[in-house]
Structures are given as C-alpha cells and as structure tokens.
Structure 1
C-alpha cells in the first residue's frame, strides 16, 4: 500500500498548486523590480527565469523518481541514512517556515495598505489565520481542491489587463536588447525568485496519483505562471514609460486604477480582495511543507498540533514585532538568496548524488 495513498492529488490539482504558489506575492511588484535591472527588456528576463526554474523542476522530478513513494526527507534517509533525513527535515522546515512568514507578513501589509488601513495589524493577523486554520489542518488533497476552486473563480482576472492595452504605447519595447544581454542576465535572478514555489515538488511528488505525469505537471504549472507574468509585464511596459514604471512599488495594482466599470468604483480594491485567495495558496502550502517536515522528524502522523504551534507563534510574533514595508523588502531579498540555493542549485546537486550512489550500489552488488 502506498504510504500517502489516503491523501493523493490529481494531476490538475498538482499543476494548480504549483501554479498558484508561483504567482503569489511576486506578480504584483515584479515588473518594476526586474525593470530596475533590464529596463524594457525585462520580458526576456522573465523567459530566462522560466527556463531556469523549469530545468530545476525537471532535476527535482528526476531525483524523486529514485524513491517515488517518499518525499525529499524519505529520499535523503534512504540514500544518506537517518541523520541525513533529520538534517534535511530541519533545513526544509526552516526554509518553508521563513518563506511562509515573509509571504504572510507581506499579505498583512497589502491588506492594511489597500483594504483596511485603520485596522490594527494584530487584528488582521488573527482574521487571516482563522480561515487558514480550517484549510491548513487538512491534508494535501484539500489543498489541491482549494487550488482548483481558487483558479476557477479567479481565471478571469488576467483578462482585465487586456482592456488596458487600448492605451498602450508599443514603441516602449523597442529596440530589443538596447543595452545588450548584460542587464537582461542581471535581472534573471530577480525573476527566478518571483517564480519560487515550484520547489514544493519535493514534498508534493509522492502525493501525485500518476507520477509518470509529474514532469508534465511541473512544466504545465511553470508555463501557466510564465503566461501570467508575461501578460502582466508587457502590459506594464507598454502602459508606463520606461522611467515611470520604476516609481511604483506595485505597478500591477496601480495599473488597475485606470480600469473603470459603471457598476463598481475603485476596481483595484475588488481585484486585490480576490487576489488574497491566490496569495493564500502561496503561504498555506509553504506552511504545510514546513510543519510536515517537523511532524516527519518527530514521527507524528498528525500535523495539526504543529500547525497550531506555528500559528500561535505567528500571532505572538506580531505582538512584539510588526514588519514594515521596507523590512519586508529586506526579508524578500534574503528569501531570494535562499531560494536560489535551495530551488535552483540543490536539485542539480541532489540528482548528481543519488545517481552516483545508485551507480555505486549497482557496481558493488554486480
């Protein structure tokens, strides 16, 4: 019997979990962030970032195929022993816990700045974690169903930006590579950070029903994120001037201020309120990956007590420290550095190690 058979997810749920985790907080500020490096050629950095994260995703799949019925922690234990598994559990738990905290604190900042400016941050934290508890206490299967639901009700949102293209100035994109490949390559690491989320494959892989489609699933999830990012990016580039786009922290939200409907005022507020569901699908799975690691390390199949402790610590942290926008930007900068190592470099190294160990074992037994 499969170890994770009771919590299996379908291919579409797998794709949507990866896709939604990649377009969480990153989609709102990334056009100006990458434009600071690559200017109006930053759409090329978007494509190069997609190439890198897709390659890393495929290395993850190839490594996980060596132990298809287990997560990364089971794989490390099988190849490196008990202590390798424990060390991996500690690293994975801290990595995803930090990512979850950074994304959650950014969510609180967004809500306070755009939706509820007069509400105390501690009250916002408690309000946000209550629905999160009901989803997070369940397993991966419920997370997959929630991802399907969110994608279904939010699939119209990218189409809104097509309306903005009526006022576009396409000459902003020309000439292509006006300053050469150097700025484009400098902006690529920023774009790789924006795509982070696909590394959840380390934990999600054994829950997938048909693991033969895992490679297709990560490519599909990454490509859906690529299409959304290209639409957002090109729309911002042709709407704002090359200098103007650098003046906005979240140019995507500012862009929505020109969208008008006769039946609703300030459409960007309605958009952001719904977009909170997509952001939740970034920090909810990240939190699950973290508490799964701590539960695995302690041999506890029930992750709910760990989730309760995590959420309690989250609330207590806001009693003593409430991150500002600038402090959160610094956290995100560190998050990008950690992500480049864990999500891009580590999958390749892991694949080389497990391949070498398998070859050594075959040689020794042969």
Structure 2
C-alpha cells in the first residue's frame, strides 16, 4: 500500500483513538437505554457488550482491507476491485451513508434542544448553527478536527462523574433474573446497540492520514474499549435506577438521571448536560463532514471548500422537512440498518474478496516460478 498523503498532513497514531471515539459517542448516549431493552430487557447489557467486542473484529478486518488498498482508503480500494465507474458508484453509496449519519445526529440533538431548552425556536436555526460551526472547524483541516475530538471528549467526560449520584438510589434487583432470555431477544437488543458504535467505519477514510498507519491498530482497539466501557457504565447505572417499565416510557433516561443532582447554586443540572453535549455533537459531526468532503474531492476532483459547502448544503436541505418524533425514530432505525449492513455485511465482503484475489495471485506466481 502506498501512502499518497503528505507527511505534513498526517497525524500521530494516538489521535486515532480520539477521532474514532469522538465519532462513536454522540446524542444516542442520552436515550439508548430505552431502545436496547427491546428484546433482552434487563439482560440487554450482555448484547451491548457483545457488540462492543465484535467491533474489535470489524476493526481488524478494516485494517487488513486498507493495507491492500493502493492509496490506503476505501475510495482507491473500490476502483482497484470494481473498476472506475462501479467503484465510483460504491463510493457514492458510502457518501450517502455519511449524509444519513450527519442528518440523523444533528436532528436528534436539535430535538433535545427544542424540547428541553428552547421550545419556541425553529428547528432549522439550530441545524444551521451546528452546521456552520462544523464547517468552520472542518475548513481548518483534519488536524483541527482531531483537536476538537480531543477536547470534546475530555471536557464532557467529566460530567459522567455525576452519574455516581444515582447509584445511591440503586436497586440491584432490577438486574434479576439474569440470562433468562432467548437468542432472538439478545439479537434484537444487539441490533438496537449498533448505532452506539457507528463511527468506527470512518477509519476507511482516515487510515492514510495516520503516521505508521499499519502499526496504529492498537489505538483503534483502545477507542473501541473506551466506547464499550462508557456505554456499559451508563447502562448499568440506568438499569440500577430505573426498572424496565420505567425505561420503556422514558425518552432520555440519561438526562432524567442528571435531574437527580441538586446544587445550591444551580437549579437544573440537566441543562449543563444539554449544553455540554453540543461539544460531543460537534466532534461526532466534524469527522463525517470531513469524510464527505474528501470523497467529493477524490471522486469528482472538486476543491476542498466547494466540496465542504456542497455536503453541508445537502445535509441542511434534508434536515428542514424532518419533523415529529416518528420521523426521528425512523431515521434512527434507518441508520441502524445501513450501519449494520456496512459493518457486518459489506466490510466482511471486501475482506473475503481480497482474500480470494490474493489467493489466486499467489497461485499464479507459483505457476510462473515453476515454469522458470
């Protein structure tokens, strides 16, 4: 694999941890508990843990696939395996997934702002505000995006210490009985856990920009461990405080947990959560926005700034008509399905295809050596 990225544009390997983790953690952290209980109920933490473990396998596959790409990214890999035109079509399919990722994340956070803080402000204003900030940051390049991911993970992570307060009221019997569900139940909960780990797939475009990229795999695995522990901790705290019936009727359980905290100088601690989550959303949106910009640049030869504005404009236009809780839930479901197909279907397919091609190449080389 040849790296065609200038040395001055590459990042230290450890920053891959922040780039991937910052893309995996988003607005779903405020509401995922009510979705993953569908199926395995109080045992759904098992499904979440298994999905987190499976991400290590998917990460290993992606590193193997990218090592066999001419330029180290999925764009060059598509043209290498499928030819110019079909390769471009598949890359545009990935671009469509990036747009869906951005639309879903921004719309979900805007809904939180609209319900909890600014009920009279129009949705498109919030959407435009988030996009403009992301455009400003992405225009600075991947180094700026990596810096944003670093600070947007460290600062809001301090809020997670506040979740120790609900543990004072924990009912550990909520976890009983243990392991009393069927395989289908665990599988259903696992499906609803997929969106929690979506974001690792952007490694398919980030890989060439990491120094010593072939040896940076450990940082991607550390990111997966970090994400899994984070979601598992929140799940255990939530399940110890809420019972299953309460979680079914609670839209944002993490925000409800934050309302328990009372300080003499602050009436609503949950507002701190909502405002600080803006930092997390920016990090989660900047990486896919950068990725979409890069796809347009390499696929159609556009310059960086027009590519950035085209991607942002498409996202904004798509956000305007999306209104109502049912539309939002359908959007989240669509992202889970497409993300699941990409991670557990398409990426393993590329892996198997490369294995087959390499096998026949070696066989052909052996025949040539045999003739000589």
**TM-score of the superposition, structure 1-length normalised?**
0.94
Query: Residues 168-183 of structure 1: matches in 2 within 5 Å?
Result: 168-183=170-185
Instruction: Report the CA distance shift for 1:193/1:131 in structure 2 as closer, same or farther (over 3 A).
Output: closer
The answer for the alignment partner of 1:17 in structure 2 is 19
Per-residue deviation at 1:31? 0.9
The answer for the alignment partner of 2:231 in structure 1 is 229
Residues 61 and 214, structure 1, Cα contact 8 Å, conserved in 2 = no
The answer for the alignment partner of 2:94 in structure 1 is 92
Residues 26 and 195, structure 1, Cα contact 8 Å, conserved in 2 = no
Residues 52 and 344, structure 1, Cα contact 8 Å, conserved in 2 = no
Residues 106 and 130, structure 2, Cα contact 8 Å, conserved in 1 = no
Residues 40 and 237, structure 1, Cα contact 8 Å, conserved in 2 = yes
1:108-159: CA deviation from partner (whole Å, max 9, x where unpaired):
2121112221212222222222211111223222211111121222231221
Query: Residues 256-335 of structure 1: matches in 2 within 5 Å?
Result: 256-300=258-302, 302-318=303-319, 321-335=321-335
Higher mean C-alpha displacement, 248-257 vs 290-299: 290-299
Query: Residues 35-184 of structure 1: matches in 2 within 5 Å?
Result: 35-67=37-69, 69-184=71-186
Q: Could you tell me which runs of 5 or more consecutive residues in structure 1 were left unpaired when the two chains were aligned.
A: none
Per-residue deviation at 1:297? 0.8
The separation in 1 between residues aligned to 2:184 and 2:62, in whole angstroms, is 29
Residues 89 and 294, structure 1, Cα contact 8 Å, conserved in 2 = no
Per-residue deviation at 1:68? 6.8
1:322-353: CA deviation from partner (whole Å, max 9, x where unpaired):
42222011011111111111122111110111
Per-residue deviation at 1:299? 2.1
Per-residue deviation at 1:249? 1.2
The separation in 2 between residues aligned to 1:183 and 1:305, in whole angstroms, is 46
Per-residue deviation at 1:62? 1.0
Residues 68 and 205, structure 1, Cα contact 8 Å, conserved in 2 = no
Per-residue deviation at 1:32? 1.1
Per-residue deviation at 1:180? 4.2
Instruction: Report the CA distance shift for 1:198/1:250 in structure 2 as closer, same or farther (over 3 A).
Output: same
The separation in 2 between residues aligned to 1:88 and 1:37, in whole angstroms, is 34
The separation in 1 between residues aligned to 2:181 and 2:342, in whole angstroms, is 31
Q: Could you tell me which runs of 5 or more consecutive residues in structure 2 were left unpaired when the two chains were aligned.
A: none
SS of residue matched to 2:165: helix
Higher mean C-alpha displacement, 41-50 vs 136-145: 136-145
Instruction: Report the CA distance shift for 1:316/1:84 in structure 2 as closer, same or farther (over 3 A).
Output: closer
Residues 69 and 206, structure 1, Cα contact 8 Å, conserved in 2 = yes
**TM-score of the superposition, structure 2-length normalised?**
0.92
The answer for the alignment partner of 1:202 in structure 2 is 204
Residues 29 and 250, structure 1, Cα contact 8 Å, conserved in 2 = yes
The separation in 2 between residues aligned to 1:91 and 1:297, in whole angstroms, is 12
- What RMSD over aligned residues (CA atoms) do the two structures have, in Å? 1.8
Residues 79 and 87, structure 2, Cα contact 8 Å, conserved in 1 = yes
